[in-house]
Structure 1
Amino acid sequence: MYIQMLFRQMNIEDQLKTNNLPPARKLSLSILVTANLIDEQVATALKPFDISIQQFNVLRILRGQKGKPANLSTIQERMVSKMSNTTRLVDKLITKGLTERVICEANRRKVEISITEKGLELLKEIDPKVDAVEKELIQDISEEEIEIVTDCLNKIRK
């Protein structure tokens, strides 16, 4: 928490101990450093549950299917981090009993993934912890500022 408070008070140039960054680099570095801070805080909240951010993301994607299974490509395209090895993530979740493979009766080559009841129960436990982390991270930002920043980030990803 202390480090988080310290970073909030420091601009990116002070934090990285550099000066006169061009605006585009200043913005890029600010986004990267902030994303890393968020990842670290969320990973810390997930640690007691023995689950990674990427595994958490897969579980949320599967929960969003509302009981319908998803194939690996659907999961991959919805992942926040496209660098993730979806097959490996799903295999780990299956080993933990949080997801299961469903083989299509009509086409046995078609394999889909579903979240288990155990996976849903785990998300019910985890969600409030992650929500609290996210809420704490933005506690000094107004709703209007959140909308402005979100709109600006959307423009970058256009």
Structure 2
Amino acid sequence: MKIEDEIQSSKFEDNYHKAVINISYTYSWLNNLLRINFERYDLTSQQFNVLRILRGQSPKPATINMIKERMLDKMSDASRIVDRLMQKELVSRCTNNIDRRAVDIHISQKGLDVLSKIDQEFKTADLLKHSLTEDEAATLSDLLDKLRG
């Protein structure tokens, strides 16, 4: 559906303005679709992102700073997200053996199991493949990379 129809307005300053509105609207639309899938597991998209980072890092530990650097949402409070994941027993935290000031964070088996279930039930491709071909998705990704410069 065209952005004009979605927001019920066609008053844009120019195509750059229209593109910014469209990207912002599409981000919210996509976030809502993702949120629905994560809520089944009592996770936020930020918590899911941290679990994926930790799974990719495993078996090596991660630090809060490393998680912050890799997170999609740079405004998230990684420490608080890790605390919530600890309460859910999806991650563990321990003091670094080399640097006592640093804290090592590991994904737990329970965290790995949750991600495995999500992987089986939900494929990110399902969000786009009904509207875009794989080549179109690649072009869109390339354009977004170009936009960020």
TM-score past 0.5 threshold? yes
Q: Please state if 1:138 is matched with 2:149.
A: no
Structure 1 residue runs of 5 or longer lacking an equivalent are 1-9
Q: In structure 2, what is the equivalent of residue 107 of structure 1?
A: 99
Q: In structure 2, what is the equivalent of residue 150 of structure 1?
A: 141
Q: Please give the TM-score of this superposition, normalised by the length of structure 1.
A: 0.88
Distance in 2 (CA, whole Å) between partners of 1:55 and 1:81 is 11
Aligned residue for 1:146, secondary structure, equals: helix
- Distance change (3 Å), C-alpha of 1:23 and 1:100: same
1:128 to partner: Cα distance = 2.9
| 1:82-136 deviation line (CA, Å, top 9, x unaligned) | 11110000000011110011211232111121101110011001123331x5414
Q: In structure 2, what is the equivalent of residue 40 of structure 1?
A: 32
Q: Please give the TM-score of this superposition, normalised by the length of structure 2.
A: 0.93
Structure 2 residue runs of 5 or longer lacking an equivalent are none
Distance in 1 (CA, whole Å) between partners of 2:23 and 2:101 is 41
Q: In structure 1, what is the equivalent of residue 87 of structure 2?
A: 95
Q: In structure 2, what is the equivalent of residue 25 of structure 1?
A: 17
Contact 1:100 1:115 in 2 (8 A): yes
Distance in 1 (CA, whole Å) between partners of 2:86 and 2:64 is 13
Distance in 2 (CA, whole Å) between partners of 1:14 and 1:135 is 24
- Kindly provide the amino acid, as one letter, of the partner of residue 123 in structure 1: L
Q: Which has the higher contact order (CA 8 A, sep 6+)?
A: 1
The aligned length equals 148
Runs of 4 or more consecutive aligned structure 1 residues displaced over 4 Å after TM superposition: none
Q: In structure 2, what is the equivalent of residue 7 of structure 1?
A: none
Q: In structure 1, what is the equivalent of residue 51 of structure 2?
A: 59
